[in-house]
Amino acid sequence: MDVRWERVGERAVLTDEGRLKATARGWHLLVVQMAGEAGDAAVFAVENRCSHATARLDGGEIDGCHIVCPLHGARFDIRDGTCAGPPASQPIRSFPARINGEDVEVAVPEKPPMAKPKFGVFN
């Protein structure tokens, strides 16, 4: 799979706001900075889309290592995308993230094209 590191924003914005939304290679991303296990800052990236009804997650409350979907309240672990609370039951995609100098970078594959609908007016 063709995965590559993409610059998605400035470190200063992430440090100031604790989160950063971005797009890279067709993915809508949410990057979050949290305290790591050693007390240092760690950076994580997930797809900015709830697995329940595809709401964007960037406006959701961050509660510990979880982000809470602002639409119906599903919870996801920001570190790996695991679903941690209903009504969602599926995880969200997570991506490797890092700070590189003054840049925030996320390793993303090329997003596969959306499948055409089988029926309807978009053929």
- The first and second tokens of residue 5, run together, are 């590191």
Rounded CA-CA distance 82/101 in Å is: 29
Residue 71 near ligand FES by CB under 6 A:
yes
Q: 62 or 99, CB closer to ligand FES?
A: 62
DSSP 48-84: SS-TTT----TTSPEETTEEE-TTT--EEETTT--EE
Does position 87 bind ligand FES by CB under 6 A? yes
Identity of the residue, 7 or 56, whose beta carbon is nearer to ligand FES in the bound complex: 56
Q: Is 111 in the site for ligand FES (CB under 6 A)?
A: no
Of the pair 34, 71, the CB lying nearest ligand FES is at 71
**HSE of 98, CA atoms in CB hemisphere, 13 A:** 8
Contacts of 16 (CB under 8 A, 6+ apart): none
Interface with ligand FES, residue 92, by CB under 6 A: no
Question: What is the Cα gyration radius of the chain?
Answer: 15
Residue 69 binds ligand FES (CB under 6 A): yes
Q: For ligand FES, which residue of 45, 52, 84, 108 counts as binding (CB under 6 A)?
A: 52
- Select from 8, 46, 84, 88 the one that contacts ligand FES (CB under 6 A): 88
Minimum distance of ligand FES from residue 51's CB (angstroms): 8
H-helix or E-strand spanning residue 98: strand 97-100
Contacting positions for ligand FES (CB under 6 A): 50, 52-53, 55, 69, 71-74, 87-88
